[in-house]
Amino acid sequence: MEYSNSKPRSLLILFATVFLIISSCRADPDPLQDFCVANLQATDITVDGFPCKPTSSVVSDDFFFSGLSAPGNTNNMFGSNITQANVANFPGLNTLGLSMNRVDLVPGGINPLHSHPRATELGFILQGEVLVGFVSTANAFYSKTVKAGESFVIPRGLVHFQFNVGTGNAVVITAFDSQLPGVVLAPFTLFGSTPAIPNDVLTKTFQVDQSVINLLKSKFSGSTNY
């Protein structure tokens, strides 16, 4: 009797725990007011987001952003450019829990392997044909060629890429459930940090010689951007 009673109870505890874990893994917290336009000049120490501008100095333009209307300059080693519309340049987004990017890719161009620690990404192919892929924590690779008008989703925090496999330029619009998703760009994080990760750590990690690490460091050091 007691045994058969304890089973549903432990199941309940299991479900409650899973629910708590899932609900604590949400993206940005809900706002507590209509808006809190970021005061990007504020020097106060803040834990989440930026302090609000006084409502008296909030203007319509705080809620508009034209930066995604033009392509970025793709004349770089990856043949791509990421134009960001996040709280850092679009102050009306502060506390609202979302942001967008525009990704421009020349034929053969790539938005290299990277992850967003604070957001899931929903992408829409505006133009072109793009191979999109990510790797799960179970090390499974999920990938598909996505065409104009089609969409994809990259679960939060997972390593992913977009690669233009079409014959013309590609444009991808991405939305994030964070006002500042953050980006960990694999090549720059591993081989271009300041100061650099010691070679011994990298040779042991990747099971290769110093020369391989030095070659990779020579390509990515001294920059957080490409």
Ligand X SMILES: *[C@@H]1O[C@H](CO)[C@@H](O)[C@H](O)[C@H]1NC(C)=O
Instruction: Give the footprint of ligand X on this chain (CB under 6 A).
Output: 72-73, 76, 81, 225-226
Q: Which residue is nearest to ligand X (CB)?
A: 72
- Distance in Å, CB of 169 to ligand X, minimum: 14
- Distance in Å, CB of 209 to ligand X, minimum: 30
Q: Which is nearer to ligand X, 76 or 205 (CB)?
A: 76
On whether 160 is known to bind a ligand per the annotation, the reply is yes
- Distance in Å, CB of 214 to ligand X, minimum: 24
On whether 199 is known to bind a ligand per the annotation, the reply is no
Q: Which is nearer to ligand X, 81 or 162 (CB)?
A: 81
- Distance in Å, CB of 67 to ligand X, minimum: 9
Q: Which is nearer to ligand X, 68 or 131 (CB)?
A: 68
Output the CA torsion 119→124→128→130 (10° steps): 40
Q: Which is nearer to ligand X, 106 or 154 (CB)?
A: 106
d(CA 154, CA 141): 12
d(CA 226, CA 219): 10
d(CA 94, CA 50): 7
On whether 2 is known to bind a ligand per the annotation, the reply is no
On whether 101 is known to bind a ligand per the annotation, the reply is yes
- Distance in Å, CB of 166 to ligand X, minimum: 20
Output the CA torsion 194→195→201→206 (10° steps): 30
Q: Which is nearer to ligand X, 99 or 101 (CB)?
A: 101
On whether 114 is known to bind a ligand per the annotation, the reply is yes
Which residues are annotated as part of the binding site for Mn(2+)? 114, 116, 121, 160
Which residues are annotated as part of the binding site for oxalate? 101, 111, 116, 121
